[in-house]
Structure 1
Amino acid sequence: MIRYDEAIARLLACVSPRPAESCTPPAALGRVLAADVTSPIALPSFDHAAMDGYALAAPEPLEPGSEHVVHGSQAAGDAVRHAAGGVWEIMTGARLPDGLDAVVAVERTELLAAAPDGRPTRIRLLDALGEGQNVRHAGVDLALGAVALAAGVRIGPAQLMLLAAAGVRELAVVRRPRVAVIGTGKELVTDPARVLGDSQIYSSNAPYLAATLVRAGAEVVTCEVVDDTTDTYVHALERARSIGVDLVVSTGAVSMGRYDFVPEALRRLGAEVLFHKVAMRPGKPLLAASVPDGPLVMALPGTPMAVAAGLRFFVTPVLRAMLGLGPETVLHAVLDTPQQPKAGLQHFLRANFHLGADGRLHARVMPQQQPFRIVPFAAADGWVVLDEDAGDCAPGRVVQVASLDPETGLAIGPEPAGGRA
């Protein structure tokens, strides 16, 4: 049995980023950039008005009270105009006519004369106006050829807005890690429309894994349940290897009982076992192995919270490394509930979070931590992580915390009734 930090180090030593592939920006949502994206245009691409008003030439400051003839009007999308001095009515976002370099807001002018159709023909300035005032200059947001997004950035809606504004048509992204999910157990029923027989249960680990893996950036290629025999597990692994998956995540049959056949199956395939059993709770029997000319295998115990902890704290770091992402930022909170963790074990505890009156994030460890319980997990905001040497933890201690889902961030609920425990 090894410590958590040693297990993670062994895992990550076997992992490298997946190769790059090209895609269009709309198809890149949730993907990780494999190379910098440089802008093919400047943003903005021309000098334009920051507000509705009048464009003028003001190489020297114009005085309040000065009067000016309005020569024309410029709206967003109009062709380039060449102004020989004077004033042009201008709308927000409209390109400045050539020769003009400042904009005065319409409300900071006095209309002196207008044409029969309402078009202004003469105005008076109410304030002084200088060069560049109320003008958004070309390239002030992003210069032509500048790096718009750096390699390693995960593409979200904000990044799609930038790519669209810059007219980027194609980009290089890291190929999604290809993952196979294998559940084990003859008692598992995968079809919820099927009535359970004696001693049967509905399969919940596989759907949870598949959904969370996709959110974490993986492509789930297969998701299947096999019975409690070495042969069927070996055949499932061989199928996964034949279709070129990068990672297999399996659940169950990894402990020391007579039906815990995963270690034997991996030996049959000539796999190198990186570790088997980690000093942690829940999920101590967890196993990791590397199959020759095949995938990395993460074999998680079958109890629901062992699966959840194994996925969050072992599989997630592996996927991040395969995507070329760095380690997650470590987050902390003030512990509100006393804990007496067992020495020598890394504890992953379901918890609720809230912002305290002190303005800091607080964590309340939930009372029902048994690894078979799913209801508390569905009500949790995240995890409290206590390392092997944590010792007794009194309220007020600052502890490490983590989100339930690495892609959604910490959920923060209301402060519980009665305040801090």
Structure 2
Amino acid sequence: MIAYPDALALLLDAIRPLESESLPLADAARRFLAADLHSPMALPSFDNAAMDGYAVRAHGKPLPAGVSFAVAAMQAAGDTADAFPQADACEIATGARMPEGFDTVVPVERSERRDGQVRFPAEERAGQNVRRAGSDIARGELALARGRRIDTAATMLLAALGVAHVDVVRRPRVAVIATGSELNATGPLPPGGIHDSNGPFLEACFAHWGTDMLTRTRVPDVGDAFAHAVGEAIAARADLIVTTGAVSAGRFDFVPAALASLGARELFHKVAIRPGKPLLATRFDGGPIVLALPGNPMAVAVGYRFFVAPVLRAMAGLFPERPTRVRMAAPLIGRDGLHHFALGRLEHGADGRQTAHAADAQASFRILPFATSNTWLSASDAHAEHADAWPLDPVDAA
């Protein structure tokens, strides 16, 4: 068996970042930037009032209590006028451009207006309540770095900068093949049948990541349906094929031999991890990577989180993910020689320190602990008092 770090290194060495494409901002949500994006303009693009009130010429000096000015005009948001050469004060609205030579805004609630004059009862600071041009971001400044996912905050920034199109990494094309003659969709089950949970799980994972899902197929353990499904995925120019089941050493574990007969080159088979030890990674020359995961639900969950997700990150040109080192409330028990992955919860103790609690009664077939945990934990020690904590969903780390 190959060690987990060595297996991951071999796998990622076979990945090259995907090419980029230009998309309208409205179509780029959840995609990854293919290059650094520098601001095409200053934001704000002009000095403007931070609140409703009166703009005055303070000339860099405090306004003494009781000072008054004649009010020349009203400057509203969107007004283009920027010069009142004969005035020392004008009424101004939030977001309105500061007229030329005006440098201070006194809020309306701290002013007294009467007979065309405004009086300020209290002393006011020079330069207050003005949003300076470029105070958010300067023209040419790095706005978003390569690899940044375009989330809602990034969308707001890009829209404010007037960015209409962005260069993003294209979506990876993915196919999922679940093997098992016992697998069924929802509804009544035949004797010996089970509902397929791995296929829907992986489809949901890939949809959440933002892939181009080519197909999700269930195939029996006999016949040529598996080879046909792999061939269809290759013909559709899949970047990644993920299979579940039939990858160990039993009579019906046909996937390794089937992939080899189709021309796939083995990267590794069997990793010193638990759960998920029989995992197989292969590659078709000039074609997709294939990650063949064991069929137990938690082996699939581990395979996705700790093998598939790093592949997706590498395809997007992202740096490797870094976990958080946490203290275990009780030692995380594993087996000597294996890298152990476990589900758990992160909580803050009475001393304010974050502590990890492993979920009870974990087994590769048990799904409920997955649904009630908030973190993955990993350790290579058999009785680990500290572990690496990973977000349950890799999208949270992207």
In structure 2, distance between residues paired with 1:35 and 1:377: 36
Name which of 391, 394, 397 aligns with 2:382. Answer: 391
Name which of 358, 368, 374 aligns with 1:375. Answer: 368
Task: State the one-letter code of the partner of 1:176.
Answer: R
Name which of 156, 162, 166 aligns with 1:167. Answer: 162
Q: Which residue of 1 aligns with 2:43?
A: 43
* Residue pairs, 1:3-82, within 5 angstroms: 3-61=3-61, 62-82=63-83
- 1:310 counterpart = 2:311: no
- 1:262 counterpart = 2:264: no
Name which of 327, 340, 343 aligns with 1:350. Answer: 343
Secondary structure, aligned partner of 1:139: coil
1:298 Cα deviation from its structure 2 partner: 0.1
Task: State the one-letter code of the partner of 1:341.
Answer: G
Q: CA deviation digits over 1:40-80, x for unaligned, max 9?
A: 33211111011121101122524332221111111212232
| Bigger mean CA deviation after superposition, 338-347 or 176-185 | 338-347
> Against the structure 1 CA distance between its residues 226 and 64, is the aligned structure 2 distance closer, same or farther, given a 3 Å change threshold?
same
Contact conserved, 2:60 with 2:127, CA < 8 A, in 1?
Answer: no
1:38 Cα deviation from its structure 2 partner: 2.8
1:256 Cα deviation from its structure 2 partner: 0.5
- 1:227 counterpart = 2:220: yes
1:186 Cα deviation from its structure 2 partner: 1.1
- RMSD (Å) for aligned C-alpha atoms: 1.6
> Against the structure 1 CA distance between its residues 98 and 15, is the aligned structure 2 distance closer, same or farther, given a 3 Å change threshold?
same
In structure 2, distance between residues paired with 1:257 and 1:158: 50
In structure 1, distance between residues paired with 2:17 and 2:382: 37
Q: Which residue of 2 aligns with 1:93?
A: 95
Task: State the one-letter code of the partner of 2:240.
Answer: L
Structure 2, unmatched stretches of 5+, are none
Contact conserved, 2:274 with 2:340, CA < 8 A, in 1?
Answer: yes
Contact conserved, 2:331 with 2:386, CA < 8 A, in 1?
Answer: no
- 1:405 counterpart = 2:393: yes
Q: Which residue of 2 aligns with 1:108?
A: 110
In structure 2, distance between residues paired with 1:230 and 1:254: 16
1:128 Cα deviation from its structure 2 partner: 4.2
Task: State the one-letter code of the partner of 2:2.
Answer: I
Q: CA deviation digits over 1:343-400, x for unaligned, max 9?
A: 000111111221212212211111211111112211121211111xx1323xxx3321
Using structure 2 for the length normalisation, give the TM-score: 0.95
| Bigger mean CA deviation after superposition, 12-21 or 232-241 | 232-241
Secondary structure, aligned partner of 2:31: coil
Q: Which residue of 2 aligns with 1:413?
A: none
Q: Which residue of 1 aligns with 2:317?
A: 324
Q: Which residue of 1 aligns with 2:277?
A: 284
In structure 2, distance between residues paired with 1:286 and 1:52: 64
In structure 2, distance between residues paired with 1:148 and 1:5: 34
Contact conserved, 1:305 with 1:371, CA < 8 A, in 2?
Answer: yes
Q: Which residue of 2 aligns with 1:333?
A: 326
In structure 2, distance between residues paired with 1:392 and 1:355: 22
1:203 Cα deviation from its structure 2 partner: 0.6
> Against the structure 1 CA distance between its residues 236 and 162, is the aligned structure 2 distance closer, same or farther, given a 3 Å change threshold?
same
- 1:153 counterpart = 2:148: yes
In structure 2, distance between residues paired with 1:287 and 1:344: 19
Secondary structure, aligned partner of 2:150: coil
Q: CA deviation digits over 1:282-303, x for unaligned, max 9?
A: 0100000001221000000001
Structure 1, unmatched stretches of 5+, are 115-120, 410-421
Q: Which residue of 1 aligns with 2:84?
A: 83
Task: State the one-letter code of the partner of 1:95.
Answer: R
Q: Which residue of 1 aligns with 2:243?
A: 250
Contact conserved, 1:217 with 1:319, CA < 8 A, in 2?
Answer: no
Secondary structure, aligned partner of 1:337: strand
In structure 2, distance between residues paired with 1:284 and 1:150: 37
In structure 2, distance between residues paired with 1:303 and 1:92: 59
1:33 Cα deviation from its structure 2 partner: 0.1
In structure 1, distance between residues paired with 2:24 and 2:293: 36
Q: CA deviation digits over 1:260-289, x for unaligned, max 9?
A: 111111111221100000001101000000
In structure 1, distance between residues paired with 2:332 and 2:58: 69
Secondary structure, aligned partner of 1:339: strand
Percent of paired sites with the same residue: 48
Secondary structure, aligned partner of 1:377: helix
1:230 Cα deviation from its structure 2 partner: 6.1
> Against the structure 1 CA distance between its residues 340 and 86, is the aligned structure 2 distance closer, same or farther, given a 3 Å change threshold?
closer
Task: State the one-letter code of the partner of 2:343.
Answer: R
1:129 Cα deviation from its structure 2 partner: 4.5
In structure 2, distance between residues paired with 1:60 and 1:294: 67
Contact conserved, 1:2 with 1:278, CA < 8 A, in 2?
Answer: yes
1:401 Cα deviation from its structure 2 partner: 1.2
> Against the structure 1 CA distance between its residues 340 and 37, is the aligned structure 2 distance closer, same or farther, given a 3 Å change threshold?
closer
Secondary structure, aligned partner of 1:88: strand
| Bigger mean CA deviation after superposition, 54-63 or 197-206 | 54-63
1:9 Cα deviation from its structure 2 partner: 0.3
In structure 1, distance between residues paired with 2:40 and 2:304: 40
In structure 2, distance between residues paired with 1:370 and 1:264: 28
Q: Which residue of 2 aligns with 1:294?
A: 287
- 1:240 counterpart = 2:233: yes
Secondary structure, aligned partner of 1:225: strand
